Amino acid sequence: MTHPTEWKGSYYDGQSVVPQHVTISVTAVGLSLHFASHRTTTWNYHELRQTQGRYSGEEVRFERGTGIGETLVIPSPNILIAIHEHGGSHAGHFYHPATRRARVYWTVLAALTSLPIVYGIFTWGIPSLAQPITAAIPISWEIQLGQFVQQEVTAGKPVCQNPKLIHAVESILTAMTNSIDQLPYQFQVTVVDSPVVNAMAAPGGYIMVFRGLLQDTASPEEFAGVLAHEIQHVLLRHTMHLIVRHVSMAFVVAALSGDASGMVAYALQAAQTLQTLSYSRDAEDQADEQGLQLLQRSRINPEGMITFFAKLGKEQPANGVLGYLSTHPATQDRLAHLKSLLPPVSTTYRAFPFQSEWSDIKTYCE
Ligand SMILES: [Zn+2]
């Protein structure tokens, strides 16, 4: 049986959320990407990670590189059949698409597992079922929603684009994401040019830090502390959970079925929820604890996280805007708990190449 060997897909360069259209051909050694600009490049099979396309109806997603790497999204799962036909032994580590029969089985199973959730929504309401609903939402849907939420939150606001600043922020982010196994999201940090002292994470790994908060940090470690905390809100799916708890039934049904039509309208609802509501105390504790562990695994001094939160607690809010402090109160309990998690013996931590320039770099946005 022969299959087509050319496929349409979207390429993301890891810097921008704007996709580039590509035509992909499947060869013996890898995927050849043909861009509209006539540029052609090859992604060898051994460099690729398949992060989506295991379930019926799910688009196929390949990633390359570490940290904020490059991503290729191909709507047709049949490309996996072609890879297995042409890719020889290299293709062995990609998921082999199910046979037609197995796909029917998965579809039926998916329908059956979501039925009790839909029944439960009507009986007990969405908030009490937010946990299982959140767990059942496809990651691909969450990522798409996150992109729209980010666009919604940053709409009309300038974004910091100084290359030195962006490089420093990405180095700190990559130091942490590199120490996470099986990263389900491609994390991105956007620094919004606004004096507000705030930071927030949208679903799917889209973190937004406002300039006011960045400029309040005294070191890369303090900034890393906030990022580590926000990364954990995403990985633990707190962001998605908060949105699910407070949105409409139509949103939940669309999310469960993976229906992306009308995503923009849901994004508006989701963005408002994230900007006006807080996570539970338990969620905050979890993000603190696992954020601190992430810093240690990444060889970043975790004391920066504690000094920053302590400093935030002492600050007088500018113009009465509480920002990050209103959602992350620096209570004595919280600080004491974080301190109790520090390792008892002194450890050697990494120094960033821009360590001594931080006080300058953090102002480069202006
Ligand atoms: Zn938090």
Per-residue pLDDT reduced to its tens digit, 261-316:
778 888 888 998 888 888 988 999 999 999 999 999 999 999 999 999 998 878 76
Residue 189 and residue 298 in one domain: yes
For residue 309, the CA-to-ligand 1 centroid distance in Å is 11
Give the confidence band of 318 by pLDDT, cuts at 50, 70, 90: low
Query: What pLDDT was estimated at residue 303?
Result: 95
- Report if pTM > 0.85: no
Which carries the bigger pLDDT value, residue 130 or residue 105? 130
| Candidate from 95-99, 235-239, 357-361 with smallest mean pLDDT | 95-99
User: Given a cut of 70, is residue 230 above it in pLDDT?
Assistant: yes
Q: Give the SS3 label for residue 54.
A: coil
How many domains are there within the chain? Answer: 3
Q: Calculate how far, in angstroms, residue 338's C-alpha sits from the geometric centre of ligand 1.
A: 13
Residue 100 confidence (pLDDT): 43
How many A from CA of 78 to the centre of ligand 1?
A: 40
Looking at residue 209, its pLDDT comes to 96
Q: Which domain holds residue 261?
A: 137-361
If you count them, how many residues does the chain have? 366
User: pLDDT class for 321, splitting at 50, 70, 90?
Assistant: low
CA of 199 from ligand 1 middle (Å) equals 9
CA 328 to ligand 1 centroid distance, Å: 6
Asked if residue 30 is part of any domain, the answer here is yes
Q: N- to C-terminal Cα distance for the chain?
A: 60
Tell me the CA–centroid distance for residue 236 and ligand 1, in Å.
11
Let me know whether 191 and 152 are in one domain: yes
Question: If you average pLDDT over residues 215-232, what whole number do you get?
Answer: 97
130 and 65 belong to one structural domain = no
Backbone phi, psi, residue 32, to 5°: -95, 125
171/61 same-domain check: no
Report the side by side order of strands in the sheet with 6-12: 40-44, 30-35, 20-26, 6-12, 70-74, 60-64, 49-52
Top mean-pLDDT range of 76-90, 278-292, 318-332 = 278-292
Same domain, 337 and 232: yes
In degrees rounded to 5, what are phi and psi of residue 205? 100, 15
Q: What pLDDT does residue 101 have?
A: 47
pLDDT greater at residue 99 or residue 272: 272
What is the distance in A from the centroid of ligand 1 to the CA of 263? 25
Q: Is residue 316 part of a domain?
A: yes
Is residue 154 located within the same domain as residue 53?
Answer: no
The verdict on 337 and 348 lying in the same domain is yes
Distance (angstroms) between ligand 1 centre and the Cα of 148 equals 21
Distance 273 CA to ligand 1 centre (A): 14
| Cα 122 to middle of ligand 1, angstroms | 30
Residue 356, pLDDT > 70, answer yes
For residue 1, being part of any structural domain is answered with no
Provide the pLDDT confidence category of residue 3 given band limits of 50, 70 and 90: low
Compute the distance from residue 59 Cα to the ligand 1 centre, in Å.
31
Q: Who wins on pLDDT, 81 or 38?
A: 38
CA of 127 to the centre of ligand 1 (A): 20
Res 19: pLDDT: 77
CATH of the domain at 66: 2.30.29.30
